[in-house]
């Protein structure tokens, strides 16, 4: 992009979008916001503590609610998600795998958001679909890791992008 004294709307939107996409500090916020939305919706729509203890899919959240450790649990979870997303994207930056990392982090965020909405729908098929998305995220991460390792060994220790 060459500076011509003015910026049209399309150029500005493209620059902002690319800036957000390539910045691990910003992308790391996606799962944090999604977790806050997930658990906010959970506590808003569940109907109370007893429903969370009986029907929540996350054993860690059930444990935190049961033992009054929710602030500690939420703080640790938010910190974990942000640091993990930031570190993964920082390690992938400059490689061909970076967009896949962004997509995976976005999928984890989407899964959390849909998980919070499951209290609104209260449908077993919907809840099973959300669990399936969680498992799919894990499988994608494992396959990407295995592919990265195999690429590294095939190229004599050099990864794509290095």
Q: Is residue 66 part of a domain?
A: yes
Q: What is the pLDDT of residues 83-130, one digit of tens each?
A: 999 999 888 888 888 888 899 999 999 999 999 999 999 999 999 999
Instruction: Decide if 35 contacts 110 (C-beta within 8 A).
Output: no
**Residue 18 pLDDT:** 62
Least confident of 2-11, 121-130, 138-147: 2-11
Q: Is residue 9 part of a domain?
A: no
Q: Is residue 4 part of a domain?
A: no
Q: What is the pLDDT of residues 70-83, one digit of tens each?
A: 999 999 999 999 99
Q: Is residue 3 part of a domain?
A: no
Residues 6 or more apart whose Cβ sits within 8 Å of residue 102 = 21, 27, 89
| Sign (positive or negative) of CA dihedral 61, 63, 65, 70 | negative
Our count of domains for the chain comes to: 1
Instruction: Please give the residue that has the higher pLDDT: either 75 or 150.
Output: 75
Average pLDDT, the chain: 85
Q: Is residue 120 part of a domain?
A: yes
Instruction: Decide if 44 contacts 57 (C-beta within 8 A).
Output: no
Q: Is residue 63 part of a domain?
A: yes
Looking at residues 42-68, what average pLDDT do you find?
A: 95
Q: Is residue 33 part of a domain?
A: yes
Give the whole-number percent of the chain exceeding pLDDT 70. Answer: 83
Could you give the CA distance from residue 111 to residue 90 in angstroms, rounded to a whole number?
A: 22
| Burial environment of residue 108 by CB neighbours within 10 A (0 to 12, 13 to 18, 19 or more) | buried
**Residue 22 pLDDT:** 77
Phi, psi of 18 (to 5 degrees): -70, -35
**Residue 4 pLDDT:** 45
Could you give the CA distance from residue 159 to residue 96 in angstroms, rounded to a whole number?
A: 10
Neighbours of 84 (CB within 10 A): 14
Q: Is residue 143 part of a domain?
A: yes
**Which residues constitute the domain of residue 69?**
26-154
């Amino acid at each position: 992009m060459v500076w011509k004294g003015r910026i049209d709307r399309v150029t500005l939107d493209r620059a902002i979008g690319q800036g957000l996409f390539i910045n691990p500090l910003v992308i790391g916020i996606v799962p944090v916001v999604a977790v806050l939305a997930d658990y906010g919706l959970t506590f808003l729509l569940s109907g109370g503590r007893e429903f969370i203890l009986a029907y929540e899919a996350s054993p860690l959240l059930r444990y935190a609610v049961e033992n009054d450790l929710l602030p500690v649990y939420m703080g640790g979870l938010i910190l974990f998600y942000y640091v993990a997303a930031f570190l993964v994207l920082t390690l992938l930056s400059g490689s061909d795998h970076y967009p896949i990392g962004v997509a995976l982090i976005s999928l984890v965020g989407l899964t959390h958001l849909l998980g919070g909405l499951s209290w609104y729908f209260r449908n077993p098929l919907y809840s099973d679909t959300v669990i399936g998305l969680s498992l799919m995220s894990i499988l994608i991460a494992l396959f990407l890791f295995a592919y990265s390792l195999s690429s590294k060994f095939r190229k004599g220790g050099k990864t794509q992008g290095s």
